[in-house]
Each structure stands twice: as C-alpha cells, then as structure tokens.
Amino acid sequence: MDDSSSHSHTQTIEFPRETDGLPEARKTELVELDDGDEFELDIMPVKKRISDATVRMLAYNGSVPGPTLKVPQGGTITVHVTNHGDLDATVHWHGLRLENRYDGTHDTQAPIPIGETFTYKVHVPDAGAFWYHPHIREDYGQEMGLYGNILATSSDADYWPPVNRELVLTLDDILIEDGQIAAFRESETTHVAMGRFGNVMLAAGEPDLSLEATRGEVVRFYFTNTANTRVFNVALPGAQMKLVGADAGHYEHEELVEEVLLAPSERAVVDVRFAEAGKVALEHRTPERTYPLAAITVAEEHAEPSHADQFARLRSNRDMAEQRERIEPFLKAPPDKTLSFVAEMDMGVPEGVPVVYVCPMHPEVVSEEPGSCPKCGMKLLAQAAEATTYVCPMHPEVTSDKPDRCPKCGMKLLPASLVEAGGGHDHGDAEHGHHGHEHHGHHGEPEHGHDAAQGIEWEDDMLEVNRMTTPANMRWKLVDRETGAENAQIDWTFHVGDQVKLRLVNEMNSDHPMPHPFHVHGAGRFLVLARDEVVEPNLVWKDTVLVRTGEIVDILLDVTNPGRWMAHCHIAEHHESGMMFSFNVLPPPA
C-alpha cells in the first residue's frame, strides 16, 4: 500500500462540531406504546454539556439516549423516522426478530436521505431489553449519541421475579479532546485497529449520573453497552446483584454475582437489592482501575412492598432447562460452519523515508525493488530501509531486527520510526477523563492466550497508532474456514427451522489479536454452547457474544426468520472496515 492512501487532517473534510444555534439536549423520555401504535422518531443535532465541555451531538427526538420505547411482547409498532442529521441514515432494531425489510441495513432498504422519512414496522416477539442505532457510519452516529432502548414487557406475569421498579441504563464512553468530541472524517473511519475508546464514561448519557433508592428496595436494571468498542465490567459494591437475564430473555437459572461483563451491544438484566441506607457506587471495574459510572443515594425509609424473600430465591426457568436437553446432541457434533476472526495491518511507510522490499514469510529476502519472493512467490512489502528496529505498539520494550510478531500479545511489530511518531499519548486526559482509581488483580475468568487481562483489551494503549488506522491500512476479516471466503464474499443459505452450529475462532495468528463481539441480525437467536470446549453453564438466548482473544466459541443458531440478514463484529470501527457478511434464510423446505 503506497502513501496515496494516507490522509492528513488538513486534507480531509470532517463532520461538523459547531454548537451555535443548536437546541439543548432534552431528558430521555419513557414512551409506553401499545400494539398497533405509531411513533415519530427524528434524527437531529443538539448541544449537550459533558463534564466541562459543551459538545455537538446527534440525538433521537432531541435526547441522548433517545426515547425508551416500552412495548408489549408480541406487539408491533409503526415508527416514522425522519432524518435531520449529518448524512444518510437507517435505523437498526438490534436483537428484534422482525420482518426482514425493516431490519435497517443496506441489504433491506435504501438509506434515508437528509430531510426524508422512512416508516418501519417494528415487531417485538421476545421479552427483554433491545435497542436501536444507526447502520450507516455506525462509528460516527453511535459515538455522537444515536442510540436508544426498546423495553419489551413479557406476556407472562411470572417471567421475571418481582421488583419494586425498573430502570433502563445505557453504558457508553466518549472521546473528548480540546473541549470537543474528537473529530470524525467524512470520507473514512479512523481508529480501526482497536475501535474508538472514550475518555469520559457515560451512564444514561451522563458523566456524573445521580440516582436514588430506598432501603430494602429491589430495582431491576436493564443495562445496554452502547459503546463503540469498550467492554464494561459492571459492579455495585454495597448492594446485592442478581443476574436474571441477557440479550433476549431470562437465564436458565438466576445467580448472585459480584460483576457483570458486557461487550458492545450486549445487554444484561440485573436485579439489585439495596439492603442498607447510604451511598452506593455503580462502577466499571478493570484489572487496572475502577471508573465511577453513577452515584446512588439510598434513603433510610423502607421500600414497600418488601421483595427480600423473592430476591433471595434463585429461580430456575423451565423453558431454558428444556433447551439444555435439546442442545445435548449438538455439543459433540462438528460445527456446520466455522468463522475465523483475523486482522491484516499494512501501515505503509512515511513519505520521504527510503524503502526496501521484504517478504512477510521470509524476512531474510530483501530487495531494493518491488517484486515477488523467490522462495514462496509472495509479494514483497515496502519497509522503511532505515528502520532496522521493529517495535510492538502495545509493548515498546519488545524489539526485533525483523518484522516479526510480539511474543507477549501476538501483534505485528512495526517500524520503530512509525511507533515513535504515533505513540506516547495518554487516552484519558485529566480535564475531561474519568481516570478512576488504579488497582491490581484480576476479575472473572483467566486469560485467553493474549496478555490483555482475561482476553480483553480494557483500554487503548496505542492511541495514536490506533488513530492512524483506517480501512486503507487495516483490514478486519471474517473468514469461512471451509471455503476461504472473506467478509462480503461469504455466501451462506439456511432454511427456517434449521439449527446451525457455528464455531467462532478468534485467531492468535493475526496482525492484531483482540476480542470481538459477534452479532447476528434477526434471522433468529442463538445459545452459547461452549467456550474453549467448556460447556456453557447457564443458557440464555443471545444475539451477540463476546469472543475473547484466542478463544473458540460454539453457538447454536435457531433460524426462525426468512430474509437476507447480516452478521458482523459489533466494534463499530471493525464493522465499518468490512468485518461483516450477509446470509440468506429461505422458507422451510417443502
């Protein structure tokens, strides 16, 4: 790849960031809708105060998050979406098994031009927390505030345990630099290597959210991770947490937990009991630091009615226990399809730097002219002639005289001159960032081969290198192991009623091994069968699964819905760089 693919900030057009004349962002509304109701949803720019910065954002109906739509399970609502935003738009109804033509992707509709309206028929077949967001330049729209929840109330009064009240809470982060949201290019996505991490944490769109509760109260939290790339690890020290549900329904059995892990686009339904009066912090905990997300004041008066006894009871759910019996034959069966997650990085050579041409497979093969390797026939790649030292962007203490891979994390080593030009910048600036307090020790499961704790990249440790990566120099791929097809070339066909075992392999032999949240659109829903051959202990219906670095995850897709559907990584920048494909679902065979 030559220098012509690179762009400087002065050569590119950026999306607007001015706030003059914009309305103030409104408070998020809860809108209760019945089956058959209609609703207007308007995409529009607003200005919003985040910490000490007033920034331009995009909003649904003027609020960030957009309105929470409360809809009965089994109901269908009509939503008229008008686009007054910055670019063509669609709305994806994440997790809903609705009619294919309303899925909100380029496969199912023409984009909504600025100033135009499109009408969606939104069917809600399952109980739980779902959400809506853009599916064109998702990296931009989502970071700028375009996300909102759909709360589907169960038709079964006993589906969830009793609580005093419910609270819908989005978890997000945002990158603030010099008093503005960090610039976005109109022409291309940046931060493609790791996704765009933020330096300010947001809960329900607020950097310093305050909540209230009463002693003994049981509150159901519907958490949704709406971040572009950050994985949240949610804790409420001082309160009791009971995990009761996830993406598309309740768990096989309820369990008391200390923390709940949420990858981008995942949801968790958590019942929380505030046993004592005082202060409780909602936190995001990583192995290195803790970030405050919200402060909860628990009043002295007792909550009525008391649900203490029901909270202490850990229920099992018969419908999911039946799924446990159903999946037994699939556990030992070979996968029907296998997908590998792979990165290819070509950072190029800075303009004016002398180059030599090197074989990636045989680094001892060096030429002053472009050509092919005489040993294997591979194309020789340009390297900086003066860059005799290669460095890992994640671990600068790892150096080599060859363009090898880092033994600590598996990432491709880059010329030292490039790493020095693009590194050394702390992501969390003290003016706007929530640093939290640092601590050591690990939460959750052991590592999965990558040195990032628990197979998760909790922070952007190579910010400037990450910022320079675009689809032109970094390619994320989903690869069909059987055919070798990549991304949009993958051509799968299933039928309604199929049970498809998919194996997801997050390759360590990749230019940048890292975790990926894999999302399947409304063709059906799936169960996680096993992780690294360990059977999943607690079943729940899902539409997104986190595949950690080096991990192998088996899922069973229950195909229920005809049409052309997408599957992709839900790190927004990976999706925008092409880490996606579409597949067909036909009616049941005659």
- The CATH number that applies at residue 286 is 2.60.40.420
Tens digits of per-residue pLDDT, 161-220? 999 999 999 999 999 999 999 999 998 999 999 999 999 999 999 999 999 999 999 999
- In contact, 404 and 395? CB cutoff 8 Å: no
Same domain, 18 and 152: yes
In a domain, 417, yes or no: no
Q: Is residue 353 part of a domain?
A: no
Q: What is the pLDDT of residue 529?
A: 98
Locate the DSSP E strands across 88-154: 91-94, 117-123, 128-134, 148-153
From the list 244, 311, 304, 302, the residue with the least C-alpha distance to 273 is 311
In this structure, are 176 and 148 located in the same domain? Answer: no
> Mean pLDDT in the chain?
88
Same-domain pairing of 113 and 176: no
Q: What is the pLDDT of residues 478-511, one digit of tens each?
A: 999 999 999 999 999 999 999 999 999 999 888 8
Question: Among the three residues 156, 182, 209, which one is the final residue of a domain in this structure?
Answer: 156
Phi-psi region of 166 (alpha: psi -120 to 50; beta: other; left: phi over 0): beta
Residue 425 has pLDDT above 50, yes or no: no
Residues 311 and 332 in one domain: no
Q: Are residues 511 and 576 both part of a single domain?
A: yes
Please check whether residue 467 lies inside any domain of the structure. Answer: no
Q: Is the pLDDT of residue 239 over 80?
A: yes
**Are residues 146 and 200 both part of a single domain?**
no
| pLDDT above 80 (res 407) | no
Per the CB < 8 A criterion, the answer to whether 416 and 399 are in contact is yes
Structure-block tokens of residue 127: 């109980």
Q: Is the pLDDT at 587 greater than 60, yes or no?
A: yes
Size of the chain, expressed as the number of residues it contains: 590
Cβ atoms within 10 Å of 136's Cβ, excluding its own: 19
Please enumerate in sequence order all residues whose Cβ is within 8 A of that of 568, keeping only pairs 6 or more positions apart, or say none: 478, 518, 519, 574, 575, 579, 580, 581
Q: Which of 92, 125, 156 is the last residue of a domain?
A: 156
Domain that holds residue 189: 170-316
Banded model confidence at residue 123, pLDDT cuts 50, 70, 90: very high
Q: Residue 5 has which token pair?
A: 């693919």
b/e burial code for range 342-370 (CB count within 10 A of at least 16 → b): bbebbbbbeeebebbbbbbeeeebeeeee
For residue 86, tell me if it sits in a domain: yes
Collapsing DSSP states into helix, strand and coil, what is residue 10? coil
Cite the beta strand spans of 91-239 per DSSP E: 91-94, 117-123, 128-134, 148-153, 165-174, 176-177, 180-181, 200-203, 209-215, 218-225, 232-235
β-strands 53-60, 176-177 pairing: unpaired
Same domain for 148 and 18 = yes
Residues 149 and 199 in one domain: no
Cα separation, 381 vs 348, whole angstroms = 9
Residue 260 and residue 134 share a domain: no
Q: Output the six-digit token pair for 370.
A: 């472009």
541 found inside a domain: yes
470 exposure class (CB count in 10 Å sphere: 0-12, 13-18, 19+): buried
Does residue 438 belong to any structural domain of this protein? no
Contact 400, 390 (CB under 8 A): yes
Same domain, 92 and 198: no
Q: Which among 223, 210, 219 has a CA at the least distance from the CA of 281?
A: 210
pLDDT digits (tens, 9 = 90+) for 516-558: 999 999 999 999 999 999 999 999 999 999 999 999 999 999 9
Query: 32, 150 in Cβ contact below 8 A?
Result: no
With respect to residue 414, please indicate whether it lies within any of the assigned structural domains.
no
Query: Where a domain ends, among 100, 128, 156?
Result: 156
Q: Give the CA angle between residues 449, 452, 456 to the nearest 5°.
A: 95
Does the pLDDT value for residue 251 go beyond 80? yes
Q: Is 487 part of any domain?
A: yes
145 and 16, same structural domain? yes
Confidence of residue 318 (pLDDT cuts 50, 70, 90): very high
2-16, 49-63, 362-376, 386-400: least confident range: 2-16
pTM across the whole model: 0.85
Residues 109-126: what's their mean pLDDT?
A: 97
Q: Looking at the 3D structure of the chain, how many domains does it have?
A: 3
Rounded alpha-carbon distances, angstroms, from residue 97 to 38, 92, 576: 19, 11, 23
**215 shares a domain with 150:** no
